[in-house]
Amino acid sequence: MSFELKSGELLQIDGANGSGKTTLLRTVCGLVPADEGNVYWCNRPIQQNRQGYFSQLAFVGHKHGIKDELTAAENLEIDQILAANPSSVSVREALGRLGIGECRHQLCRELSAGQRQRVALARLLVSIAHFWVLDEPLTALDQEAQRTVCDLVGQHIAAGGMVLLTSHQKLDWSGQAHRIIKLGNA
């Protein structure tokens, strides 16, 4: 397969379980090497342009990257430190925008699956990354949170960002430039 993503575009990957959506996303993030072919960022293979690529990449995967023994706020502070360009959005504000502001001093172990997902998604707000890669960002979220996430994605696209996401759901990207690629069975 081959695809290209430009600024202000959204690409949704759809496909049955086991069709390789997650593997594709992890390959795009440079976490697993591609069996064949390459991933390019600004016309250069990402292996040769790691610094430039990773400084523009934000990834929320199946594994959330959240420590159970840290509070929501402490987890986001680490994300802020790891980010190449921390945004002006504070940890408190980011968690607030995802509707879990009041849980920020709670250990993530005590949070529900949906709340943990929101903590992971709040990562997108504390850094300025051009390219968002989201693996099933809406699972475990209630309808209101799903709306919030879709809005965030929409705003990011409108501001010239790029989003690659997997989802089984039919999403309403009202007016945003978006494409859907359906993966066949492996």
As a whole number of angstroms, the distance between CA 126 and CA 116 comes to 16
Cβ distance 125 to 160 under 8 Å? no
Among 32, 34, 159, 180, binds other proteins (CB under 8 A): 32
Interaction of residue 59 with other proteins, rule CB under 8 A: yes
DSSP-derived letter for residue 127 is: B
Chain position carrying tokens 């159970």: 68
- The separation between CA 149 and the C-alpha centre of its own chain, rounded to angstroms, equals 10
Phi, psi angle pair for 179, to nearest 5°:
-130, 155
Binding mask 33-52 for other proteins (x = CB under 8 A): -----------------xxx
Cβ distance 2 to 151 under 8 Å? no
Interaction of residue 78 with other proteins, rule CB under 8 A: yes
Interaction of residue 84 with other proteins, rule CB under 8 A: yes
Interaction of residue 70 with other proteins, rule CB under 8 A: yes
Interaction of residue 131 with other proteins, rule CB under 8 A: no
- Taking contact as CB under 8 A, which single stretch among the options 4-12, 13-21, 24-32, 165-173 is the one that binds other proteins? 24-32
Which residues bind to other proteins, rule: CB under 8 A?
Answer: 22-23, 26, 29-32, 50-55, 57, 59, 61-70, 74, 77-79, 81-84, 123
